[in-house]
Structure 1
Amino acid sequence: MGSGKQRWKISFHKSPSPLKQQIPAEFLCPLSGALMADPVIVASGHTFERSCVHACVSLSFHPTLAGAAADFSAIIPNLALRSTIVNWCLRHHLDPPTPLAFYSAEKIVRQLMPPASSVAEYNRTPSVGSSEESVTPRLTPPPPLLLTTRPSCYSSSSSSCDIEITSSSISLEEEELYSRKMKSSQIHEQEEALISLRKLTRTREDTRACFCTPRILSSLKSLIISRYSNLQVNAAAVLVNLSLEKQNKVKIVRSGIVPPLIDVLRGGCSEAQDHAAGALFSLSLDDQNKTAIGVLGALPPLLHALRSDSERTRHDSALALYHLLLVQSNRVKMIKLGAVQMLLGMVRSGHMSGRVMLVLCNLAASAEGRAAMLDGGAVECFVSLLRCEEFESEESCVAALYGLSYGGLRFKGLAKECGAEAVVEGLERRGSSEQAREKCRRILEVLREKHEEDEDVNWEELLGFNDDLTKYTVTGSSS
């Protein structure tokens, strides 16, 4: 073991260690360059670290070594080499190597990929605003659509799937095999099962329906919150794929898997959070799930995820909130969370304004939401945004302002104060769509409508400058 001083001396030694120079070349993975903890032999005869093989398969990358391209159609554990490496480490007083995490292996493999193929992989054409597989993020994502039906962590790669699916159903034996592997005490067996399931459920609708069984969902439920990030990521990705089938959505929520998803969204690794947000968005598309997901506590972490460092997590969280807020009980919960001020702040700063405006539109559809937004300065905020002709989410902004126009005299007073009529009038003439122009016409009707009580309205008092009188009036009317 050596003394503490010796260990510090080794840690800070800058020249290459003589011992490292003596490591046999066959002990090192040709891709990662590190000692192999779990070496496997592939069909072409090459030996790699297992996680590097999985990363190559996921990215459809076939490295060429000694003039021959690697063939990953078969993977066999190299138990003899693994034992030799462990014995060598023990003889040299070294700790045996630990398996390389899939996420780290994926980063290494991407660096080895040729620039052309890397760009092609990262910029696949999306289908319906998102994509079709949950493995590879894009370098330059397409402009976000207002509404999509698939999570942005799901990217299209049907042509690169290495597994040929020959049957549209699975046998009980296959289900038992996957379930047993996912419940195995061996991490590499769990990972193998998840990666295989991830690929099988990636492009075939009938396969996704067949694998959404209580036994499979129960196994996924425990792995989604695994302390091993690669298990966490792949389990969440499988769930995203399964959730794409309409017939699976209610079944997944009733399996009790939403609370673990929420835990991952709160504190999982970054890529797992991407998939957790995507799964919650996908599940929220079914009307039967909306109330249940809100009751189970998804709203606070989804709201917090709008400020995530990951663009995919932000966008899918916003869309999940949009669909969940089609239910009145969830709108009330969001108001109690103090979400309005946070959302308005994001819109003012230009942070995800398009998606956030969709969320605000749904909040404006309820009396509680309108009251909170009027108190939070939403009218002035929206009118100032609409004054800017380059504002990209003009139609959503008009829709939110239209929702607020049901706020009665309070809305009229705030709109008058910030000069909304002239702005809306201009939009009514040059609106981007007939639907937006129609909403502008209705807002103008509200602003120009005359009532007897309008004649003697004290706007300062109405706008809240006399709080005592307002409180008295509210108390008197309620009694």
Structure 2
Amino acid sequence: MQEHAVTALLNLSIRDENKGNIVSSGAVPGIVHVLRTGSMEARENAAATLFSLSVVDEYKVTIGASGAIPPLVLLLNEGTQRGKKDAVTALFNLCIYLGNKGKAFRAGIVPTLMQLLTEPGGGMVDEALALLAILASHPEGRAAIGTAKAVPVLVEFIRLGSPRNKENAAAVLEHLCAGEQHHLSEAKELGIMEPLADLAQNGTDRGKRKAAQLLEQLSRFFEQQQEGSGTGTG
């Protein structure tokens, strides 16, 4: 019964005028219950419904508070391609709200996203990088991404990714390097300078901006290193 109800709610939620009625009627906890316990198809429909509802800013809080984030991360891990897409788009919307980011980190979202970035086929790369770029602005996110040994993966996307992926990879790396100089050192050793210079010239507007910020960070880092080595030998 619940599974049919979620399918009906999904169809209703597509229309903007229905979203408020669904949330105000108290349906969100039931949708989350199906997301946790339903069949794979029902879980996917529940995720798609939450994605549809989470377009509205005020509902991001309601959905996050209802415990939706851990089962969405789980679906992102083990769903079909469609389920993963629904989960990642819902999580993207939800994580725009700062209060939901911590919930996502605690649910293990960063290792899951890193797995999506490196899996063969790469069908989820665009979404995973876009979500990482949102999460990287949070201190907890930076720490988790750093722990996940993301720098080589990000450098590779800056080198070989699509324009959008280069942009998002640079955004993640810029956040990562802002607080931790060893990430700058690692990126330099991995040969980031040339692809970064190319991105600064030829990327999207945001890609150019992020590349320029990273190049500036690297430049400052080199200067500090040279000053340090200069005082050491003097």
Normalising by structure 2, we get a TM-score of 0.84
The RMSD of aligned alpha carbons is 2.5
Contact 2:69 2:91 survives alignment (8 Å) = yes
Superposed CA offset, 1:97-136 (max 9, x none): xxxxxxxxxxxxxxxxxxxxxxxxxxxxxxxxxxxxxxxx
Residue 400 of structure 1 aligns with which residue? 172
Q: Which runs of 5+ in 1 are unaligned?
A: 1-222, 225-231, 458-479
Higher relative contact order (CA 8 A, sep 6+): 2
Residue 444 of structure 1 aligns with which residue? 215
Contact 2:73 2:108 survives alignment (8 Å) = no
Residue 132 of structure 2 aligns with which residue? 360
Match of 2:160 among 383, 388, 403: 388
The answer to whether residue 15 in structure 2 is matched with residue 239 in structure 1 is no
C-alpha change, 1:340 and 1:246, in structure 2 (3 Å) is same
Match of 1:317 among 83, 87, 95: 87
Residue 371 of structure 1 aligns with which residue? 143
Superposed CA offset, 1:336-389 (max 9, x none): 223212211220112511111121111111111112112221222100233335
Contact 1:364 1:400 survives alignment (8 Å) = yes
CA shift at 1:399, angstroms?
A: 2.8
Match of 1:332 among 102, 112, 124: 102
Aligned partner letter, 2:207 = A
Superposed CA offset, 1:124-155 (max 9, x none): xxxxxxxxxxxxxxxxxxxxxxxxxxxxxxxx
- Residues 2-41 of structure 1 aligned to structure 2 (within 5 Å): none
Tell me, in whole angstroms, the C-alpha distance in 1 between the residues paired with 2:21 and 2:79.
31
CA shift at 1:265, angstroms?
A: 1.9
Residue 428 of structure 1 aligns with which residue? 200
Q: Which runs of 5+ in 2 are unaligned?
A: 230-234
Task: Point out the structure with the larger helix share.
Answer: 2
Residue 306 of structure 1 aligns with which residue? 76
Tell me, in whole angstroms, the C-alpha distance in 2 between the residues paired with 1:270 and 1:351.
19
C-alpha change, 1:407 and 1:254, in structure 2 (3 Å) is farther
Q: Look at both structures and tell me which one has the larger radius of gyration over its CA atoms.
A: 1
Contact 1:278 1:317 survives alignment (8 Å) = yes
The answer to whether residue 30 in structure 2 is matched with residue 260 in structure 1 is yes
- Residues 266-277 of structure 1 aligned to structure 2 (within 5 Å): 266-277=36-47
Quick one: percent identity of the two aligned structures? 34
CA shift at 1:449, angstroms?
A: 2.1
Tell me, in whole angstroms, the C-alpha distance in 1 between the residues paired with 2:162 and 2:113.
20
Tell me, in whole angstroms, the C-alpha distance in 1 between the residues paired with 2:57 and 2:162.
35
Tell me, in whole angstroms, the C-alpha distance in 1 between the residues paired with 2:188 and 2:169.
18
Residue 477 of structure 1 aligns with which residue? none
Contact 2:158 2:165 survives alignment (8 Å) = no
Contact 2:157 2:165 survives alignment (8 Å) = no
Tell me, in whole angstroms, the C-alpha distance in 2 between the residues paired with 1:299 and 1:315.
15
Contact 1:371 1:407 survives alignment (8 Å) = no
Tell me, in whole angstroms, the C-alpha distance in 2 between the residues paired with 1:376 and 1:311.
23
Residue 287 of structure 1 aligns with which residue? 57
Tell me, in whole angstroms, the C-alpha distance in 2 between the residues paired with 1:270 and 1:288.
28
Match of 2:115 among 340, 345, 351: 345
CA shift at 1:317, angstroms?
A: 0.8
C-alpha change, 1:270 and 1:372, in structure 2 (3 Å) is closer
- Residues 20-419 of structure 1 aligned to structure 2 (within 5 Å): 223-224=1-2, 232-233=3-4, 235-349=5-119, 350-388=122-160, 393-419=165-191
Partner SS for 2:228: coil
Contact 1:274 1:312 survives alignment (8 Å) = yes
Contact 2:166 2:199 survives alignment (8 Å) = no
C-alpha change, 1:305 and 1:406, in structure 2 (3 Å) is same
Tell me, in whole angstroms, the C-alpha distance in 1 between the residues paired with 2:46 and 2:37.
11
Tell me, in whole angstroms, the C-alpha distance in 2 between the residues paired with 1:389 and 1:310.
24
Aligned partner letter, 1:300 = P
Aligned partner letter, 2:130 = L
Tell me, in whole angstroms, the C-alpha distance in 2 between the residues paired with 1:318 and 1:288.
19
Normalising by structure 1, we get a TM-score of 0.43
Tell me, in whole angstroms, the C-alpha distance in 2 between the residues paired with 1:337 and 1:292.
17
Tell me, in whole angstroms, the C-alpha distance in 1 between the residues paired with 2:75 and 2:95.
16
CA shift at 1:415, angstroms?
A: 2.3
C-alpha change, 1:390 and 1:396, in structure 2 (3 Å) is closer
Tell me, in whole angstroms, the C-alpha distance in 1 between the residues paired with 2:22 and 2:140.
31
CA shift at 1:262, angstroms?
A: 1.7
